[in-house]
Amino acid sequence: MFTLKSIETATQDIKKSRFRAVAAPIEDEQSAKAFFAAHSDPSANHNCWAWRIGQNYRFSDDGEPSGTAGRPILAAIDGQSLDRVTVVVTRWFGGILLGSGGLVRAYGGTAALCLKAADKIELVERVRATIACDFADLALIKARLTAHGVMIAGESFTDTGAVLTIDLRKDAADEMLVLVADISRGKAIVSMEN
C-alpha cells in the first residue's frame, strides 16, 4: 500500500464542464473533513469526494446522480493501491449533460489523473523496541541498525551501557533482533513495545 507524499492537483475539461481534482494524504476522518472544507469551491456546481483509511472509507456524490461521482473517485484511490488518501473533485457545469456513464468516467478519470501524477510513498508498518546494551557493543549495534534502515528514536545511558529506542519495519523485526543478539553475543536485552 502507498500514500501520497503531498497535495496534488489535476484539471481537465470534458464537454465544456471543468473538473478539478485535489488529492492529499490524511491521518483520520477529521483531517479528511477539514481538507474537503478547505478545497471545495462553494461557487462550483458539485464538490464530490472520497477518502480511504484502512478498511474505513466514505464518499459523496454532492447532488450528482447516485453512484456517478463519489464511488468512481473511491475506485480511483483503490485502483492505485492507496491508503490514507482523500480526493475532492470539483465540477463547474458547462451546459452539456454527460449522462451517468459520462459522469462516472469524468469523476473517476479526473481523480485517477490526479493520483497518477502524485508522488507516492510506501506505507510500512513499524514497531518500536528498546535495546539495553553494554558500551562495548553500542557503536557497532547503532551502525548496523542504521545501515539496515532502522531509525534510532532515542538514546539514554546507564552505568554500564546504553538504552536505545528504535523504530523498525515490522516485517524486518525478527531479523534485526537476531542481528542485535549476534553483535552482543546474546547480552543485549531487547523488548518490543505493543
- Reported pTM: 0.73
Average predicted confidence (pLDDT) for the chain: 94
Give residue-wise pLDDT tens across range 5-53.
999 999 999 999 999 999 999 999 999 999 999 999 999 999 999 999 9
Q: Which three cell numbers stand for residue 37?
A: 472544507
Give residue-wise pLDDT tens across range 71-80.
999 999 999 9
Task: Determine the Cα–Cα distance for residues 24 and 41; give it in Å rounded to an integer.
Answer: 16
Q: Of 83-87, 117-121, 167-171, give the lowest mean pLDDT range.
A: 167-171
Confidence of residue 149 (pLDDT cuts 50, 70, 90): confident
pLDDT at 105 exceeding the cut of 90? yes
- Do the Cβ atoms of 169 and 128 come closer than 8 Å? no
Instruction: List C-alpha distances in Å: 37 to 34, 51, 127.
Output: 5, 14, 34
pLDDT of residue 192: 87
Give residue-wise pLDDT tens across range 85-102.
999 999 999 989 999 999
pLDDT at 194 exceeding the cut of 80? no
pLDDT of residue 157: 94
Radius of gyration of the CA atoms of the chain, in A: 24
- Do the Cβ atoms of 59 and 78 come closer than 8 Å? no
Q: Which residues make Cβ contacts (< 8 Å) with residue 97, sequence separation at least 6?
A: none
pLDDT of residue 172: 86
